[in-house]
Copies of this chain bind each other. A is one copy, B any other.
């Protein structure tokens, strides 16, 4: 028996399904914090019609989902405290300025992707350093070479200066995994033009300029978000700065790099390239990078870990509990007036 005084949450998670983002006990907990509309017993559960949405908003405290929220709808929802995106990115279907003027939080569950991307990022780097996929494939074909004979190109990550391009949630998660590989006299280098140096230093890395990072590091992780301003900022000239035979791991968006130039580097053996992101997805079946010998290729799988999607539910419950108690949310990422627009151009992540 739920008290009738529970705040109401419009539930509109599509294209996600609640069972993919909530563990059963967390879904129970959610229902102890809010009254879901449409609820589990309703015919339109998880997929309210526009008419239903308009009917629910006037009494809603929360929106859970990527519902279009133009000013007209926002105006019809006087009790609204938070819109919680369960897809991952801030989309251009909300009147953010109006939300901020009303102190309506716009939240995204994207922090759940930091750990899975960081883990596969390190896995790709170690795969490049030791040619793990190539050696596995050779073994399966009965063509393996034992010991040093098959490992002349093996390098130790610990021996390579490491650099991270971009230092958001993902860069920070990656840094923690990389710290044991960086000796104390040569900490991980970080480039992020949006961040004061002090903050990078406090996190245990060393802030450097982009050119310095590219020319001095030999294991480079690209986790910078793409914006209108930085598209293609890693062009042919920048890639040329990177020392020969370095590891280059691309994790955020293909749009930050000149992909043709990168492909050339991968094919002529001057860089060992791993990438999880692609200029178009699905990607050209005949593209030459598919044949690059030392490369490691991954089809936008970095964030795609089922257990991480379930962390979305954890974070939603945590923040609703806080907001119900009159406190600010802290588990989801908060849209901010200055940046929410810059990120709008990101394509929908297919996870």
Binding site for B on A (CB under 8 A): 100-103, 115-116, 119-120, 122-124, 126-127, 129-130, 132-133, 135-140, 142, 144-148, 150-152, 154-159, 176-177, 179-181, 183-185, 187, 194-196, 198-199, 201-202, 204-206, 281-283, 285, 290-291, 296-301, 303-309, 314-315, 318, 321-322, 326-328, 330-331, 336-339, 349-351
Chosen A-B contacts, 15 in total, with CB atoms closer than 8 Å, are A101-B101, A123-B126, A126-B126, A127-B127, A130-B301, A132-B133, A135-B299, A136-B298, A140-B290, A151-B301, A151-B304, A151-B305, A183-B202, A185-B187, A328-B336
Cβ distance A172 to chain B, nearest Cβ, rounded Å: 11
Residues of B within 8 A of A177 (CB): 180-181
Q: How far is the CA of A172 from the CA of B218 in the complex (A)?
A: 26
Q: How far is the CA of A314 from the CA of B130 in the complex (A)?
A: 23
Residues of B within 8 A of A314 (CB): 198
Q: How far is the CA of A126 from the CA of B336 in the complex (A)?
A: 35
**Which of A133, A195, A281 lies at the interface centre, i.e. has the most chain B CB atoms within 10 A of its CB?**
A133
Cβ distance A99 to chain B, nearest Cβ, rounded Å: 11
B142 touches A285 (CB 8 A): yes
Assess A305 versus B155: contact at CB under 8 Å? Given A136-B133, A148-B350, A206-B184: yes
A142 touches B290 (CB 8 A): yes
A123 touches B115 (CB 8 A): no
A298 touches B132 (CB 8 A): yes
A301 touches B154 (CB 8 A): yes
Assess A180 versus B183: contact at CB under 8 Å? Given A154-B301, A196-B331, A305-B156: no
B119 touches A127 (CB 8 A): no
Q: How many copies does the complex hold?
A: 4
Please pick, from B152, B204, B206, B299, the residue contacting A146 in the complex, using a CB distance under 8 A: B299
Please pick, from B147, B199, B306, the residue contacting A351 in the complex, using a CB distance under 8 A: B147
Q: How far is the CA of A101 from the CA of B120 in the complex (A)?
A: 41
B201 touches A135 (CB 8 A): no
8 closest A-B pairs by CB = A123-B126, A147-B350, A133-B133, A144-B299, A151-B304, A139-B297, A196-B318, A184-B187
B150 touches A301 (CB 8 A): yes
B133 touches A306 (CB 8 A): no
B301 touches A199 (CB 8 A): no
A156 touches B298 (CB 8 A): no
Q: How far is the CA of A140 from the CA of B296 in the complex (A)?
A: 9
Task: Give the residue name and chain of the B residue nearest to A123 (CB).
Answer: B126
Residues of B within 8 A of A349 (CB): 147
Cβ distance A177 to chain B, nearest Cβ, rounded Å: 5
Please pick, from B187, B201, B291, the residue contacting A140 in the complex, using a CB distance under 8 A: B291
Assess A304 versus B150: contact at CB under 8 Å? Given A198-B314, A322-B194, A338-B328: yes
A126 touches B119 (CB 8 A): yes
Residues of B within 8 A of A103 (CB): 100-101, 337
